[in-house]
Amino acid sequence: MPAWTDLLRDIADFPKPGILFKDITPVLADANGFAHAVAAMAAPWRDASLDAVVGVEARGFILGAALARELGVGFVPVRKPGKLPAHTLSLDYGLEYGRDRLEIHADALPTGARVIVIDDVLATGGTLKAAVQLVEQQGAIVIGTGVLVELGFLAARATWDHAAPLHAAAIY
């Protein structure tokens, strides 16, 4: 594993009993670790012709915005309900520990825009799949997805049914 992964920490029983949460905040707090993590996430997309990086609330904002800057493209947020001021598209989806909803501005991406969708951790894949669906509802093209950490023991990759590649900077 790359050195930045040593900065990740496990938090037991968060946000609910029985969940082992991968806390990325120590990576974000370390300038060198953060730079290396963003570089690892950017590596597969450096030669791609991108229009934007789409990041999923909340930690996906941090990573997605840094990745957009690294790749020289714009950033588009996908948020929890009621946070975006203009007309939105929304989608309900399942989580490892319940249900949630995501929203994106209805005019966030032009038809044909080439994007990658970024989140912090891939657990069951529900959040990332929902974000991809919202982007595609706008007519944008998802050329790839990425996460900082994939929880391999949850086997979300086995259920990944999208044509766009899924990249994880680290797999546990």
Active site residues: 59, 96
Residue found under tokens 């037991």 = 12
Say if residue 14 is exposed, middle or buried (CB neighbours under 10 Å; 0-12, 13-18, 19+). exposed
Q: CB of 33 within 8 A of CB of 24?
A: no
- Report how far residue 145's alpha carbon sits from residue 127's, in angstroms, rounded to the nearest whole number: 12
- Report how far residue 100's alpha carbon sits from residue 122's, in angstroms, rounded to the nearest whole number: 15
Q: CB of 42 within 8 A of CB of 153?
A: no
- Report how far residue 158's alpha carbon sits from residue 152's, in angstroms, rounded to the nearest whole number: 9
